[in-house]
Amino acid sequence: MKKKWLLIGGMAVIFFLLVSVIFGTRLKVISDLAGKSEELIVLKNKVWEVEFSKELDARSVNSQTVYVLDQVGKKQNVNVSLDEDKRTVLIEPPKNGYQVNSPHYSLVLKKGIKAESGRRLNRSIEAAFTVKETLPTIESKEKLNAYFLKLLKEQKYIDGRDMAVSLESSNEKSAADTAEQDHSETNVQVQGIDEADIVKTDGTHIYRISEGKVQIIRGVPADKMQMDSVLTFNPSFSPSHLFLEGNQLIVLGHSFKELTKSQDKRAADILIAPAFQSTKAIVYNVQNKQQPKMLREIEIEGSLLASRLMDGKVFMITSHYPDFWILERNEDADLRPRYSDTAQNKDLQIIDYNEIQYFPDSRNANYTNIAVMDLEDPKADLGIATYLGSGTELYMSKNNLYLAVPNYHHEPITTDRGFSPDSSIYKFSLNGRKAEFQNSAELKGTVLNQFSMDEYKGNFRVVTTKGQAWDDRNPSTNNLYILDENLKQIGQLEDLARGERIYSARFMNERIYMVTFKETDPLFVIDGSNPQKPMVLGELKIPGYSNYLHPLDENHLIGFGHDTRVMAGKGSGAQPIITTEGVKISLFDVSDMKNPIEKDTEIIGGRGTYSPLNYDHKALLFHKEKNLFAFPITVYKSVEGSQFESRFEFQGAHVYRIDPHDGIHLETTFTHQETDAVYEEWENTMERLIYIGDQIYILSPNTISAYKINGYTKTGELKLP
């Protein structure tokens, strides 16, 4: 009897293992398309990306196994292809997109689709979808809260735990006021479109944020610098960025406050939290520097994602993460974003449900608000557009604004496959005080920063990284995509620098430059003169990497980044150890696009050396006529004989003359520290350098000093309170 039960038990184990093998190896659709019961909403140029659990037999992916039907069962003229990863099927829309007046379409995946192993899809899948011309609107509280409840449920399923959400005058004008001189401007990406910074100048005065205040300093003449006034704020407001437009100073920052009793009562009535975290913009008239006059205050719920100033209009893009977990306790809570504008009234306004649009493919709980304030008409209404779905990077041209939105598919992470989101690009036209949605596109990979995007002759160009550089089984790749004015892809380069990721990029008319890195720094020189067929013409591999690329002239490019050191790993099969060394400046000669060269290089300090320029391009002072480049830097020196140890050496700023023919030359250094300082001193840390006329000004929290550009003799200094 005992043997009989052992035999039965053994057979049961074998049967269980056999079933596990069969179901564990069967072919499945792992995109969230599978199992959809509700009808999906997409835009007319939707490109479906359907991912499978295994690599597919390319012969089984065709118009007979993958197709789209309209409402009467007619096949649509879509292009079906298998991606290079062999797991993803791409279904491109008809030439002119799907018809928006069609009741619905169906995406069909037949059981004839096979894996390379021969296993077939276990069942056919049919997903219904409708098409919208523009972004759909939320329309009601019920739909909005259902959206958040669904995200909450999905998040719990993915994490396997409850989600923790983080909360987010009469004085006369002097001659100095009227005699504005040539002066530096913030280093920006697109000429004519200003970017907010911690320091601005108008050619006579310096405006700067310091310790929660805004200082207005008379900078001319340099030997008579003085503080004209200081703008102070309620402790609930923390200034972080400035714009200067004529006699108007715009102070941007973060605000947090409890609502007033009347506002608190209203909050209770509409079931929203009685606290308000926002991006605040305060506009001042600074014609009288001693007595600035506040003109307007604007608050938009959420944190500042990006801002721009163009043609007298301030564009503020904010991201708001609502506390949607409270829906578990109260499903009637109001989760709409709020704003206020003193030009209209002082009460908080709530975005109407019909004004909230959403990105169909986004699975993000953030709101993105695009607000436009007209400085030339201070009484004009604030233009505000609200979208459900969060962007991470923004590029703005003279006519359009582009938002890169991570496309999270919540795909399972397995031992042979890591998580790697893609990107949706949304294009908005700039029309008066309104940003209006135009079109969208879906691209492989993620966008690094604003310099990864560009608009040229109506085409949108972007570089992305797909995957993770550390994933040896599925190494990362880097791509260039070129899209027309309707965001239809017309050209691409894919699979560049496998196993590396993008560290910087720069678009210079028909030329495109891209730096990738893992162990060495390849600089790719790409010819984009034919947008349908961009070509890599040259590639240069050198030690280190560049975080930021700056054009010097048509044939020369400057890279700012870090030197690196590659050491052998310990043990057999160990990966090499890569350490970041000193700050590196490279002068690239790209006059021969097929043979780029590093014409000159400068390495500053050793391990631990850093500059804000490595992560913020606005820290660079560029004097074009004199070919001067200056930036703050803190220098550490590597300790000889030690692999990682370093010691402090210098804190201040370096000024270089970079010439296409003569290369890189250190002109001078500036510091506000004592020469025998043995550690960094916060109060003497260089923040920015600017120039006015023939004077260069060096700014730290406690001091502003001025020097003649020719000869660098000191001409003035102002100690700040």
Q: What is the per-residue pLDDT for 520? A: 64
Q: What is the per-residue pLDDT for 267? A: 47
Q: Under a CB-based contact definition with an 8 Å cutoff, are residues 473 and 416 in contact?
A: yes
Q: Which of 586, 576, 417, 412 is nearest to 504 (CA)?
A: 586
- The pLDDT confidence band at residue 288, using thresholds 50, 70 and 90, is very high
Cα distances (Å, whole numbers) of residue 378 to 146, 285, 420, 434, 480 = 38, 11, 45, 16, 42
What is the DSSP-derived secondary structure letter of residue 190? S
Residue 416 above 70 pLDDT?
A: no
Q: What is the per-residue pLDDT for 168? A: 38
**Does an H or E element contain 461, and which?**
strand 459-466
Q: What is the per-residue pLDDT for 174? A: 42
The pLDDT tens digits for 239-248 are 999 999 999 9
Q: Which of 535, 425, 442 is nearest to 491 (CA)?
A: 535
Amino acid letter, residue 492: Q
Residue 12 above 80 pLDDT?
A: no
Residue 510 above 60 pLDDT?
A: yes
Per mean pLDDT, which range of 32-36, 59-63, 638-642, 674-678 is the poorest?
32-36
Q: Provide the mean pLDDT of the chain.
A: 87
Say what percent of the chain tops pLDDT 90: 66
**Structure token pair of residue 660:** 């296409």
CA end-to-end span of the chain: 94
Q: What is the per-residue pLDDT for 260? A: 59
The pLDDT tens digits for 465-493 are 998 876 777 789 999 999 999 999 999 99
Per mean pLDDT, which range of 86-95, 432-441, 470-479, 609-618 is the poorest?
470-479
Residue 565 above 70 pLDDT?
A: yes
- The pLDDT confidence band at residue 106, using thresholds 50, 70 and 90, is very high
Strands (E), 362-433: 367-374, 383-388, 393-396, 400-407, 422-431
Half-sphere exposure of residue 328, counting CA atoms within 13 Å on the CB side? 8
Residue 104 above 80 pLDDT?
A: yes
Say what percent of the chain tops pLDDT 70: 86
Residue 716 above 70 pLDDT?
A: yes
- By residue count, the chain amounts to 721
Helix runs in 231-334, H state only = 261-269
Q: What is the per-residue pLDDT for 408? A: 65
Q: What is the per-residue pLDDT for 265? A: 46
Distance from C-alpha of 168 to C-alpha of 306, rounded to nearest angstrom: 17
Annotated domain spans of the chain: 191-215+234-390, 391-542, 549-590+600-721
Q: What is the per-residue pLDDT for 14? A: 46
Residue 561 above 80 pLDDT?
A: yes
Q: What is the per-residue pLDDT for 434? A: 85
Distance from C-alpha of 198 to C-alpha of 159, rounded to nearest angstrom: 39
What does CATH list as the number for 391-542?
A: 2.130.10.10
3-state secondary structure at position 31: coil
Q: What is the per-residue pLDDT for 328? A: 87
Pairing of strands 345-350, 205-210: unpaired
Q: What is the per-residue pLDDT for 261? A: 52
Distance from C-alpha of 654 to C-alpha of 609, rounded to nearest angstrom: 13
- The pLDDT confidence band at residue 528, using thresholds 50, 70 and 90, is very high
Residue 134 above 50 pLDDT?
A: yes
- Mean predicted confidence (pLDDT) in 262-276: 53
More confident residue, 512 or 42: 512
Residue 638 above 60 pLDDT?
A: yes
Q: What is the per-residue pLDDT for 85? A: 80
Q: What is the per-residue pLDDT for 4? A: 52
The pLDDT tens digits for 210-238 are 999 999 999 999 999 999 999 999 999 99
Q: What is the per-residue pLDDT for 392? A: 81
pTM: 0.86
Q: What is the per-residue pLDDT for 521? A: 66
Cis omega (within 30 of 0) for bond into 406:
no
Q: Under a CB-based contact definition with an 8 Å cutoff, are residues 620 and 689 in contact?
A: no
Q: What is the per-residue pLDDT for 152? A: 85
Residue 166 above 80 pLDDT?
A: no
The pLDDT tens digits for 647-671 are 999 999 999 999 999 999 999 999 9
Q: Under a CB-based contact definition with an 8 Å cutoff, are residues 233 and 213 in contact?
A: yes
**Structure token pair of residue 374:** 């007209």
Task: Compute the Cα dihedral for 432, 434, 438, 444 and give only its sign.
Answer: positive
Q: Under a CB-based contact definition with an 8 Å cutoff, are residues 269 and 261 in contact?
A: no
More confident residue, 707 or 26: 707
Three-state SS sequence of 495-539: EECCCCEEEEEEEECCEEEEEEECCCEEEEEEECCCCCCCEEEEE
Q: What is the per-residue pLDDT for 177? A: 46
